[in-house]
């Protein structure tokens, strides 16, 4: 048990660096969207794994802007294998800045993502990448028919995009 705990702490440190990089990328994305770098039309965002976490952070930053300044900048969002909270209140907050669809594509059998997320978020209620989000403004899609294991998301992305009508 001690060896397993030490290994878990080692992974936690590694994930912390990845989460920090995703947060920095999300800050940059939020800034670019806010500054109009993507043009005048709303943007559609698709993220897999840590890319999804970067998008999540960008949405949280846009939702926190005063006077609804972040509203209308994002049309649709698709999260795949997202290492993000299942907390419905937080999802409700970010859904306010998405004018179209907010889709959580998850794989219930992705034990690797579940373990890694739980290792870094000990008090969390769950990870949306492995289960549905209990929020009315979120469309949940079980990717089990497309994804055999979490690592295969990159190969199944096209079929998942097609299945949820994102293409």
Q: What is the pTM of this model?
A: 0.83
Directed axis angle between helix 50-63 and helix 88-95, to 10°?
Answer: 70
Looking at every residue in the chain, the average pLDDT score rounds to 82
Q: What burial class does residue 4 get, using C-beta atoms within 10 Å of its C-beta: 0-12 exposed, 13-18 middle, 19+ buried?
A: exposed
Task: Give the Cα-Cα-Cα angle 20, 21, 23 (nearest 5 degrees).
Answer: 65
Average pLDDT over residues 55-70: 95
Q: Please list the alpha-helical segments (H only) found in 35-152.
A: 50-63, 88-95, 111-120
Task: Residue 138: name the closest of 63, 79, 58, 69 by CA.
Answer: 79
86-140 pLDDT tens trace: 899 999 999 999 999 999 998 877 666 656 655 555 455 676 667 899 999 999 9
pLDDT at 33 over 90: yes
Task: Residue 106: name the closest of 121, 120, 127, 123 by CA.
Answer: 127
Quick one: pLDDT band at residue 40, thresholds 50, 70, 90? confident
């Amino acid at each position: 048990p001690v060896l397993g705990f030490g290994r878990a702490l080692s992974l936690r440190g590694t994930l912390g660096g990845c989460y920090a990089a995703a947060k920095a990328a999300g800050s940059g994305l939020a800034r670019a969207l806010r500054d109009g770098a993507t043009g005048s039309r709303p943007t559609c965002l698709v993220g897999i794994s840590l890319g999804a976490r970067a998008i999540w952070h960008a949405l949280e930053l846009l939702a926190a802007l005063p006077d609804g300044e972040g509203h209308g900048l994002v049309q649709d969002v698709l999260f795949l294998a997202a290492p993000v909270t299942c907390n419905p209140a937080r999802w409700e907050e970010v859904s306010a800045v998405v004018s179209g669809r907010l889709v959580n594509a998850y794989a219930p059998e992705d034990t690797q993502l579940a373990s890694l997320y739980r290792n870094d978020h000990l008090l969390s209620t769950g990870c949306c990448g492995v289960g549905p989000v209990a929020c009315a403004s979120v469309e949940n899609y079980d990717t089990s028919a497309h994804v055999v294991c979490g690592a295969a998301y990159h190969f199944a992305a096209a079929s998942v995009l097609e299945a949820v009508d994102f293409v």
